[in-house]
Structure 1
Amino acid sequence: MHDLSGTSFLTSDALKQEELFPIREVSRLTGVNPVTLRAWERRYGLIQPTRADSGHRLYSQSDVEAVRSILAWIERGVAVSKVGKILAKSSSPKVAVSPLYENVSSGEWGEWQTQLRRAISAFDEGRLDRLYGQVFSSYPLNVVFQDILMPLWQELLIRQEEFGQTSEWLFFDTFLRARTLQRLQISRAEVDEFVLLAPIPGHCRELELLVAGLLLSSPDLAVNLLGMGQPLSELTLVCEKIQPLALVLFSNHPPSEDLPRQLTRLALALECPLVLAGDGSDLAEDSLSGSPIACLGNEGRLMQRRLQQFLAGHLDT
């Protein structure tokens, strides 16, 4: 039900049907204090909690995820006043997971994150490794990374200023980078055809690049990575020597005004097609419309599907 101002209120019966969190619990889960949460709601409209009969704010799991997305963009240097437009532009329908997992609730993923968080806080690599294996035996790869592991990694990254959090994030980041690189190497061991994946300098962290490589790879297509700090100006030389099917640039940052022009110049100099992936590709899609550069988006299954369509000549740029 709603009042005349449009604010959503929930009855007691409705509250029982959906897991909702009071503002203090959201503050605990995200590290954002209640004053800031209220400001994001009132001043910027970034989150819209429902209200109980008492008038208290109640947040859904999707609200919690929205708060974490806001924090992620702020951590990348985006002003909070601009985050709303970015979230609206970058949001796109997710590709459905297998029917075996479509009814799995985010609460179940949260339980795995709680167990992982305990292992991380104890710096217990053996326990963390066992949980890592159990999660992979329970869900498909894209769910494991995009719904369980990377949100937790991002949460720890954002909270680094708290005492002990830097050590915990570094412990988890090191663990995930090693395991992800291992999986990536196995996935490309017996595949001849490959694309080259490179970061746009300063636009992502190494783990984000590794995970993107894993999500883009398939049984018929390998993904070879270039390291962090790879100069854009030397990519033409690298591609000339190794001749990939395509060059995929990865960015998780909003594009600068000059980036579309830089990418267009690069695309004209390359002998292979140029593709853009990550959060940045959603935000740059309009400015690259009509160019030879394809945008793959930021969701694992969607990125992989679009890349395959592009290489087959079935994806418009």
Structure 2
Amino acid sequence: MGDHGRVLDAVIGSTAQQEEETLPVAAVARRLGVAPATLRTWDRRYGIGPRAHTTGRHRRYTHADIGRLELMQQALLRGATPAEAASYALRATAPPDPPEVVAPREGGTSLLREFSTRSASVLGLSRAAMAMDTVATQQLIADSIDALGVVAVWNDVLRPVLAALASRWEQSGECVEVEHLVHECTLAAVIGATPMVTAPRNPRPVLLCCAPDEQHSLPLYVLRAALAREGIGTQMLGAALPASALAAAVRRTGPAAVAVWAQLPGLARASLFDEVPRTRQRVRLFACGPGWFTTDLPDRVDRLEDLADAVGRIESLVGAG
């Protein structure tokens, strides 16, 4: 056997040995610093789990499986939702597909029109913001909300623009003033799109606040606007609410639910929920935002994947009173 044959055999043997080395759920969870239940949820909801080596009910993760999970975790820490992060990880590790021609499905024209509207909104907002045109920026955001809805505008228009500005700042230190302008115009437009709920569907309010030391409250205003448009009454407590203040608010208002936003993982501490007092009537507890995605939460706390999930879950649980 020549040298090339021995090298090939060595590579094949090394690859086979690597494929045979698998890890159970608990070991992978420790390696990634997440709860085993989180891995099972990612597998069940997003299909990002072990692709083989499953014996009975015990899941075994290969090196390739763990690599996908690490990619997903990196995307989560950069602010992606679990669905976006899983899609990114699966695309990044998938073999290339041959090109195919897809026939337009029913309703394709309206979907294309909606996509074009979102793309035009991103482009128009970017131009207005870079020109430091406050009136045009706020008007574009308000018009987009009227056309697409507040959550869709946040996900598909505002987040891409804000992420691009943040990236520009990280690379060159420029455009901080533009990012601040977009933030303030967004806040004004979202507040303007929030109706006054005088007869809420929920007799007890939903408290909305940020985790202690968390200053990223803008998504919380988007959530309040979306809930208000569904007739859900809320009480906004804003950014960086101390745990003692949250406990006091729960005692004073007897809410139906409490939703705590955390953008950054370092500020998402599960012990916060232990300080929420138990009342005679059940209080639903929700952890919202990317900061909670890798946090092991108490059993009585529900993790909300993104703002659309938050609106749907909160409405379904408290909207019927």
Deviation at 1:190, TM superposition (A): 4.5
The 5 A counterparts of 1:199-278 are 199-203=210-214, 205-254=216-265, 259-263=269-273, 265-267=274-276, 269=278, 272-278=283-289
Distance 1:273 1:231 in 2: 19
* Corresponding letter in the other structure for 1:154: A
Deviation at 1:311, TM superposition (A): 3.0
Is contact 2:258–2:284 with CA below 8 Å preserved after alignment?
yes
| More displaced 10-residue stretch of structure 1: 210-219 or 166-175 | 210-219
Do the aligned partners of residues 295 and 121 (structure 1) sit closer, same or farther apart at CA in structure 2, a change above 3 Å counting?
same
**Which residue of structure 2 lines up, in the alignment, with residue 119 of structure 1?**
128
- How many residue pairs were aligned? 232
Instruction: Tell me which of 294, 304, 312 is aligned to 1:305.
Output: 312
Greater relative contact order, per chain length (Cα 8 Å cut-off, separation 6+) = 2
Distance 1:226 1:241 in 2: 13
Do the aligned partners of residues 248 and 153 (structure 1) sit closer, same or farther apart at CA in structure 2, a change above 3 Å counting?
same
Instruction: Tell me which of 276, 292, 305 is aligned to 2:300.
Output: 292
Deviation at 1:157, TM superposition (A): 2.8
TM (norm. structure 1) is 0.60
Distance 2:149 2:214 in 1: 27
Distance 2:88 2:243 in 1: 24
Is contact 2:142–2:190 with CA below 8 Å preserved after alignment?
no
Do the aligned partners of residues 159 and 187 (structure 1) sit closer, same or farther apart at CA in structure 2, a change above 3 Å counting?
farther
Distance 2:262 2:111 in 1: 28
Distance 1:236 1:311 in 2: 20
Q: Provide the identity percentage.
A: 17
**Which residue of structure 2 lines up, in the alignment, with residue 73 of structure 1?**
77
Other structure's SS at 2:144 match = helix
Is contact 1:123–1:168 with CA below 8 Å preserved after alignment?
yes
| More displaced 10-residue stretch of structure 1: 231-240 or 159-168 | 159-168
Q: For the aligned residues, what is the CA RMSD?
A: 4.1
Distance 1:160 1:270 in 2: 46
TM (norm. structure 2) is 0.59
Deviation at 1:312, TM superposition (A): 6.8
Distance 2:301 2:125 in 1: 39
Distance 2:236 2:262 in 1: 14
Partner deviation per Cα, 1:243-277 (whole Å, 9 max, x = no partner): 22211111223367x933442x2345455332222
Instruction: Tell me which of 178, 189, 197 is aligned to 1:168.
Output: 178
Q: Structure 1: which 5+ runs fail to align?
A: 1-43, 49-65, 77-82, 92-97
Q: Structure 2: which 5+ runs fail to align?
A: 1-66, 90-106
Is contact 2:214–2:239 with CA below 8 Å preserved after alignment?
no
Deviation at 1:111, TM superposition (A): 2.6
Is contact 2:260–2:287 with CA below 8 Å preserved after alignment?
yes
The 5 A counterparts of 1:152-191 are 152-161=161-170, 162=172, 164-184=174-194, 186-191=195-200
Is contact 2:190–2:225 with CA below 8 Å preserved after alignment?
yes
Is contact 1:248–1:277 with CA below 8 Å preserved after alignment?
yes
**Which residue of structure 2 lines up, in the alignment, with residue 131 of structure 1?**
140
Do the aligned partners of residues 214 and 281 (structure 1) sit closer, same or farther apart at CA in structure 2, a change above 3 Å counting?
farther
Distance 1:178 1:134 in 2: 13
Do the aligned partners of residues 202 and 131 (structure 1) sit closer, same or farther apart at CA in structure 2, a change above 3 Å counting?
same
